[in-house]
Chains A and B, each alone.
Chain A
Amino acid sequence: MSGPPLVIAEGLCKDFPSRRGQKVRAVDGVTFSALGGEVFGLLGVNGAGKTTTLRLLSTMLRPSAGEARVCGHSLLREAGEVRRCIGFLSAATGVYGRLTAREMVAYFGRLHGMDDRQISQRTEELFGRLQLEAFADVRCDSLSTGNRQKVSIVRAILHDPPLLILDEATAGLDVLASRAIVELVKDCRSRGKCVLFSTHRMDEVEALCDRVAIIHRGRLLSCSTLSEMRARAGGGRIEEAFVAMLGEAS
């Protein structure tokens, strides 16, 4: 797990306008780095700022302050390059209902500048791995939720990005579909990719994460390995450590 650092966040801040013309700081000076071959988990209660942090790192939002280097590119100055090297998947990401699974995936392949041969090769490979072959030419609106999310997975990793950003990607999925995502994460790690991962499920954290960052009210409370977390909980489950840390913070 000692690849090169693929994410180096330095003092990332994000302000959102609030109702009365004031600003709300959703992310406040987040600094951390994540390496290739590492699964990096983001933990936090609802509204802690996980989604906002991941959106900042994937260039969807512009930071109000701070900077980050993603795969060696500056977030602020080379947003296009950053986008080329990330795959993004969240619980909310959807599919185009009127396109078939294959068309849907091919669209994003083209947007990533892949040619048709590359696209069809990769599609066959990934559809095979996720048992989607039978649904390749079915319109997405007639797929099950699980299969839709599988199509989204293929969409996210078709261009084989070095960095994968998953925002509660398993939320609302059944056992089989979440397992597909867990397998995907493990596979990425074994191939030296970096996975940024936000979740509310402690079992996933225990099963997957190498290191965990805890975000509370936009601030990074801690950033430690799983064993450090366990030690802090006195050898117990990391859920205890998480709750204890939140208690200290408030």
Chain B
Amino acid sequence: MSPRAIATVFGKELRDVLRDRRALMFLLVLPILAIPALMWLTTEITVHFAQKLSQEKLVMLVLNPEAAPDLWQELRRRGEATHGAKRLAEYLARHRIGREELERLRDASPRDMAQLLSERGVRWEELEKEIAISSGGGDIELTGGAIANLAFPPNLDVIADTEREFADPAKREERLAEAVRTERIAAAMDFSKDAQGQIDGEGSAKVRLYYLESSDRSELAKNGMVRLLRQLGAEIVERRLQARGLPDTFNRPLVVRPERLPGAGLLVKLMSQLLPYLIILFAFLGAVYPAIDLGAGEKERGTLETLLVAPVERLDLVLGKFLVVTLAAMISALLTALSLAVSLRLGMFAMLSQAGADSFSFSLGEAALSLLLVVPTCCIFAAGLLMLSLFSRSFKEAQSAISPLQTLLILPAFVSFLPGVKLDWGICAVPVVNVTLALKEVFTGNMDRHLGHIGLILASTAVYAALMLWAAAWWSRRERVLFRG
């Protein structure tokens, strides 16, 4: 082994890769731009769909309005999405606040609500103004539930089956299904006999909702109606209590309010799932092009022979090339992490709008450890990719040999998304999976609890990396690999 020869090969290959537009594309541009672009796109898509949902009218057919005329009228009135509601929904979407999230905060503490709003850059006065417009000036509490009801009315067109088209009970369901399928209606409902009497008395009216599970519109209409009915039901209870002179706490003996403790929250959880996955994936992707170019590329250009005739040991050649590919993987992984961190700081991640408000940050020690954890895996990737590439006779062949590997790699890296998969001694020996899980723990702030595991992972991946490198060196000495007939 000659350090001078290795350095010569390394220097030349590095220069070559840095002049390769395709390699740079994967190495620099993809990690730097793809992640923010992805975030921006998801934001735009969320806004787009929020608008679309609030614009489309869904027909809810009432089969027997005569059974509960007052209820019917009330549902008609409330089903209508007003201009104000649309405006509020768009305002919220622009700040990446969706309905699910508001619903989730329905019963949460005001602190969580306030934190969410400030995290998303919502100014109180502005929000209050928007709410005043959409509610027509009435007083409204700034709770998640109240804002959700205002901004996201179901937008239902509740109409009566005046032609009594579906009156025949024998063929009712079949015909309704057909009507939903052809999008004449989105869903239908009927009331039990004397429903109005039950409501006005102290009884219980039954409402049946007909919907088609496979249709998104139908599902939406059904869910919207369920929410409306719940809301109405709550109001009816309130009236009944008032009529009897009972306090409104009468039917709420237990009020549950979850209080989130400070510390790692949902954002951290999501990031710690996403980040390891992306780091591993981009480390691989960043290494693919240089690896192909440094192996199969030599054959395609006809430079392999000249290299083999030069007085350099094959080991030195492979080491020089291997170091460049490993470096590419590391740079790609690092850029991915940096790009994600910056995008987060700039608050660009719409996907994370689901999360509660807490910041994602980690210490220098954690960053250094993560980097260290990734190194051996990058070595494994580099050696494996170089072996495949050296075996291939052309760029094309190398690409088609590597692309299935790319798909395969997504599986083990995916484990960070699986709930309940914990870092244990056995998993420490499984390459790629082990690092993914270890990174997850580091990012969740649990590094101190897993030092033993992390040590073992570093050791085991280093052994694998060394084995892979040894295999690559052996591989590069085989005539059947370098000169394939």
User: Which residues of chain A have a CB within 8 Å of any CB of chain B?
Assistant: 16-17, 55, 58-62, 80-81, 83-84, 86, 88, 90, 92-99, 103, 107-108, 110-113, 152, 155-156
Contacts and interface: CB of A to CB of B under 8 A. Distances in A.
B452 to A, nearest CB: 45
Given A93-B303, A94-B301, A99 B308 contact: no
A111 B307 CA distance: 9
24 contacts: A55-B305, A55-B483, A58-B309, A59-B308, A60-B483, A61-B479, A80-B313, A81-B311, A84-B311, A88-B309, A92-B305, A94-B301, A94-B302, A98-B19, A99-B12, A99-B19, A103-B15, A108-B306, A111-B8, A111-B9, A111-B312, A112-B310, A113-B4, A156-B306
B302 A92 contact: yes
B480 A96 contact: no
Contacts of B305: 55, 60, 88, 90, 92-93
B341 to A, nearest CB: 32
B485 interface: yes
B194 interface: no
Given A17-B485, A60-B483, 13 more contacts: A17-B480, A60-B305, A60-B309, A90-B302, A93-B306, A94-B303, A95-B303, A99-B12, A99-B19, A111-B311, A112-B310, A112-B311, A113-B4
By secondary structure, the A interface counts as mixed
B480 A99 contact: no
Q: Which 10 A-B pairs have the closest CB atoms?
A: A94-B302, A94-B301, A98-B19, A83-B311, A111-B310, A88-B309, A92-B302, A110-B8, A84-B311, A107-B12
Q: In this complex, which of B19, B301, B303 has the most chain A Cβ atoms within 10 angstroms of its Cβ?
A: B303
A155 B306 contact: yes
A175 to B, nearest CB: 22
On chain B, which size bracket covers the interface? 20 to 34
A95 B12 CA distance: 13
Contacts of B308: 59-60
Nearest to A59: B309
Contacts of A60: 305, 308-309, 483
Contacts of A98: 15-16, 19-20
Nearest to A152: B306
B480 A83 contact: no
A24 to B, nearest CB: 9
A205 to B, nearest CB: 23
B117 to A, nearest CB: 52
Contact of A108 (B19, B20, B310, B480): B310
A183 B301 CA distance: 26
B266 interface: no
A82 B19 CA distance: 33
Of B4, B310, B480, most A-chain CB atoms within 10 Å: B310
Given A62-B479, A111-B5, A83 B302 contact: no
Contacts of A86: 309
Contacts of B306: 88, 93, 108, 152, 155-156
Interface in B1-59: 4-5, 8-9, 12, 15-16, 19-20
